[in-house]
Amino acid sequence: MTFSPDKNRYSNMKYARCGNSGILLPRISLGLWHNFGDVDDFNTARDILLSAFDAGITHFDLANNYGPSPGSAELNFGKILKNDLKSFRDEIIISTKAGYFMWPGPYGEWGSKKYLVASLDQSLKRMGLDYVDIFYSHRPDPDTPFEETMAALDLIVRQGKALYVGLSNYDPQQTMEAVELLESMGTRCLIHQPKYSMMVRDPELGLLDVLESKGLGCIPFSPLAQGLLTNKYLKGIPKDSRAEKEHGFLQKSAITPEILGKLMQLDDLATKRGQTLAQMALSWVLRDHRITSALIGASSVKQLENSIQCLDNLEFSAEELKKIDEIMPA
């Protein structure tokens, strides 16, 4: 059936400026790390993606290795784009990344110009695109000079294969160095993608300050700690959960009695706020003015819809924040 999106989609979503740039991102963005590979049901993946677009989510995040198999999320995304969203390309911000293992031999991972340029060319082919909106260095490479990695990002922008560039998993000092190198080459870094949630609070220790001082946006990944910060695991490990799936990245060993005790306390607090735990976890990430968008995953349309509703309540009282700090100390 031909997809025809909701005409009110842009008034139903909230948008925020990405650092000091011209780009607005939806407060909730959708990532395709899990649930979009060739091990997953294509129709469900399509429904999630189209429902997201229908709800005003204009940003979809990929990487060369998302699947499994690696590359299959980009292939599936390309199919959906071609069949359903072709006429909406200019309404969508598509990101991809390179940094992790993609092919054997010395040029298939990390941060060399050889790898980054070749990988983006492969990603563009898989997605059927002429350019991506954002291309990320997925992780810092301890053995390649940052000058080379940043020169690759600069080249990619100059070639028109990406409009903007970003960094992911760089620490505050590495971020500062990389951003200044890019500046010296005449390319601004748009955005940083760190892991950040009530359970992982490292970006509070300097990274968010660096991003603000340099005018970068911030889009935290795994804001639900891969599903832990939801009511999903409170009564055991469901069969259809990431922790139960063979290819899921969430380890069962992460679901300890101690963590469950904390999740139950957070769940109580969320109920008092009139939210689900997932909604509270997303509102919490978005409470900081330095956070542009929360980059979520979803394995069903129902989850996606539930998560988006966090936007109805982004305010926290001082007591609520104190309680969260007590349950999950920084």
Cβ of residue 140: shortest distance to ligand NDP, in angstroms? 11
Rounded distance between C-alpha atoms, residue 206 and residue 230, angstroms: 27
- Cβ closest to ligand NDP, residue 64 vs residue 144: 64
Cβ of residue 120: shortest distance to ligand NDP, in angstroms? 16
- Cβ closest to ligand NDP, residue 187 vs residue 193: 193
Residue 44: DSSP 8-state: H
Report the run of H or E that residue 308 belongs to, with start and end.
helix 301-308
Q: Which runs of consecutive H residues, i.e. helices, occur in 69-202?
A: 72-80, 113-127, 146-158, 172-185
- Cβ closest to ligand NDP, residue 51 vs residue 168: 168
- Cβ closest to ligand NDP, residue 31 vs residue 71: 31
- Cβ closest to ligand NDP, residue 38 vs residue 322: 38
The first and second tokens of residue 293, run together, are 């968008």
Q: How many CB atoms lie within 10 A of CB 201?
A: 14
Cβ of residue 85: shortest distance to ligand NDP, in angstroms? 18
The first and second tokens of residue 284, run together, are 């919490």
Interface ranges with ligand NDP (CB under 6 A):
31-35, 61, 138, 168-169, 193, 221-227, 230, 232, 241-242, 278, 295-299, 303, 306-307
Residue 81: DSSP 8-state: I
Rounded distance between C-alpha atoms, residue 68 and residue 299, angstroms: 14
Cβ of residue 303: shortest distance to ligand NDP, in angstroms? 4
Cβ of residue 299: shortest distance to ligand NDP, in angstroms? 4
CA dihedral (284, 287, 290, 294) positive or negative:
positive
Cβ of residue 206: shortest distance to ligand NDP, in angstroms? 18
Phi, psi of 225 (to 5 degrees): 50, 45
Report cis status (omega within 30 of 0) of the bond before 29: no
- Cβ closest to ligand NDP, residue 56 vs residue 166: 166
